[in-house]
Structure 1
């Protein structure tokens, strides 16, 4: 072998070694950021949830969505944000997600109207938006939630039934959700459709940010205004507020029917103990997994067929959005074992702590 040939051979060997090392480095970086290979093209998804006061978002929604995204595409990268009930912060988070190169956003809006400009910005950048649980305004590509009007109807019907013969002897208090949440308006409308003409409403409030402390203060003020013994029931739009309301009722030495929603652990315990009448159980897993499926399909450029989005919904801005609306379930003493326990939301041990052991036994939760 002459000198020129030898130099050429050495150069080829060095290049090959360098390429091999680079390939190893790329593989290591990919596995560190995107998970196992072979599950589809790399995809960046932004998950934007609204707050953490309601326990469901961090305890259930986030882990369920993330698990399904990774199951559908092990090469997915998930950028997570929680807005802490701050609409302005959520707008900034959308900007950050777009800057990071996220191709799909799963968005649970703090304020459905305020986020419209951010949704438009995402749309203009070619980024798909899946509205989760609340239908944001603007050019949203898909939406998954529960039948919110039905939620309110079920709550209202449960309250009417629980008040029963006392309906004509007193008044109820209505404590609705946040006026910036489109779901709250639908819950409210559904509840009124069941309550109006059957129960007399003494005081009614729309509660900013679904705040339990505000709900406590509203309930206390209403109890005073109506005169305690004349209160025959309380409509609470969710369990977080029901906690504050239950405290106000206890302080006034009142035991009356009280509604809720979300099947929070403390609410299940109140139902067992008899200080809350019912909640609405919304199975988080099908909602979360549908959102993840929608996001991956949109990220891959796959059309949403009727198995994923069987219906449509119209947002406050007039946009018609392909949707999946899941049926809610009334939760009361009679079906705790066949709903939240059977589905693995909570164990009997979590519900039946020493303070609730006797009540659990009486309710058949064991």
Structure 2
């Protein structure tokens, strides 16, 4: 089933839940403000963390706005991006609460620091949906991907890539993880270690502030100096943006044939690096259903109703660092290599073949097969 069909089915199911459960509370311990009305409309605050990763502006925001429009045509979305600045996100949240949003959808720059945003919202009776990253403070709902599974998918694919390259059991693997302030990055790393530990020799490992491609490039340069370019048999990169910096460092060191390199987010540039052979894999996380679930959670919470999940995306529970039990939907990630690009990001409409097959990539196997 394509993502678009999933979205439509989730939207219909979510709307049915909203209509069938009027009067339920959202779990804010009696602090919920007077319920908003779908008929009259209300404002939903959407706070995204940064713009270095292409997905947020290109996919998350428009998909979320489309989903809200389908569930609540008279609702408005008040949107801000924090540009990876904790203080800026705090100020943005405070402004939205002052303006009277009925619910916040929060993708935190720093999960712990975001606890103060959650607390302020609770004091005003405004429910909070944690989006993609689990903010502290006892949010009302959480939607993301099974993040340890993401890391396991990356680690498994890296070993697979090394086996295909004939370098399994040789050389050393470099691990360049995500931001230390992002709890998802810790889960990605833990999941990857579950697969890699005991299977490969890890020559160097770094955490990358702000998920910065430039910092990832600097870290890779350090690793090349420490380990030697010819002794690197694979690179764990936590996302596609950092993979770009890693590849730049390897090319600057004179490496012509890249070792297997992982990624995440299925960025267009990442997909293009995969078809050209510079990057081995990425992780495709279907953002449209994630945004759709977040919208359904937000509308339910704002209207004083209980989000029940759907057949495609059942409700489960997670526990934050303070021990709060949070109702959650965790979606499944998919490994994308050159072998299944057509069956994943293209078939789901995430990218078209024309977007991928620009002139620079016209001679790749995928693009020649498409007649471009």
* TM-score, length of structure 1 as denominator length: 0.87
Note closer, same or farther for the CA distance 1:226–1:212 as it changes in structure 2 (3 Å cut): same
Matched pairs, number: 329
Q: Could you list the per-position Cα deviations for residues 323-364 of structure 1 after superposition, in whole angstroms to 9, with x for gaps in the alignment?
A: 000000011111111111111111111111111011144784
Q: Choose the corresponding residue for 1:297, options 289, 297, 300.
A: 300
Contact 1:49 1:82 in 2 (8 A): yes
Superposition pairs of residues 115-264 of structure 1, within 5 angstroms: 115-164=114-163, 165-254=166-255, 255-264=258-267
Superposition pairs of residues 266-277 of structure 1, within 5 angstroms: 266-277=269-280
Match of 1:31 in 2: none
Q: Choose the corresponding residue for 1:351, options 353, 356, 364.
A: 356
Q: Choose the corresponding residue for 2:324, options 316, 319, 322.
A: 319
SS of the residue corresponding to residue 168 of structure 2 reads helix
Per mean C-alpha deviation after superposition, the further-off stretch among 246-255 and 141-150 is: 246-255
Larger Rg: 1
Note closer, same or farther for the CA distance 1:138–1:229 as it changes in structure 2 (3 Å cut): same
Q: Which has the higher helix share?
A: 1
Note closer, same or farther for the CA distance 1:272–1:63 as it changes in structure 2 (3 Å cut): same
SS of the residue corresponding to residue 167 of structure 2 reads helix
Note closer, same or farther for the CA distance 1:362–1:49 as it changes in structure 2 (3 Å cut): closer
Match of 1:330 in 2: 335
Higher relative contact order (CA 8 A, sep 6+): 2
Contact 2:353 2:367 in 1 (8 A): no
SS of the residue corresponding to residue 307 of structure 2 reads coil
C-alpha deviation, 1:316, in angstroms: 2.2
Match of 2:11 in 1: none
Q: Structure 2: how far apart are the matches of 1:228 and 1:191?
A: 22
SS of the residue corresponding to residue 64 of structure 1 reads helix
Contact 2:143 2:328 in 1 (8 A): yes
Per mean C-alpha deviation after superposition, the further-off stretch among 166-175 and 147-156 is: 166-175
Runs of 4+ aligned structure 1 residues displaced above 3 Å come to 360-366
Q: Structure 2: how far apart are the matches of 1:296 and 1:365?
A: 42
Alignment root-mean-square deviation, CA? 1.4
Q: Could you list the per-position Cα deviations for residues 250-276 of structure 1 after superposition, in whole angstroms to 9, with x for gaps in the alignment?
A: 112322000000000000000000100
Note closer, same or farther for the CA distance 1:99–1:236 as it changes in structure 2 (3 Å cut): same
SS of the residue corresponding to residue 121 of structure 1 reads helix
Runs of 5+ in structure 1 lacking a partner?
1-37
Q: Could you list the per-position Cα deviations for residues 102-130 of structure 1 after superposition, in whole angstroms to 9, with x for gaps in the alignment?
A: 01000000000011011011011100000
C-alpha deviation, 1:100, in angstroms: 0.4
Contact 1:336 1:365 in 2 (8 A): no
Q: Could you list the per-position Cα deviations for residues 266-291 of structure 1 after superposition, in whole angstroms to 9, with x for gaps in the alignment?
A: 00000000100000000111000000
Residues 1:64 and 2:57 aligned together: no
C-alpha deviation, 1:306, in angstroms: 4.0
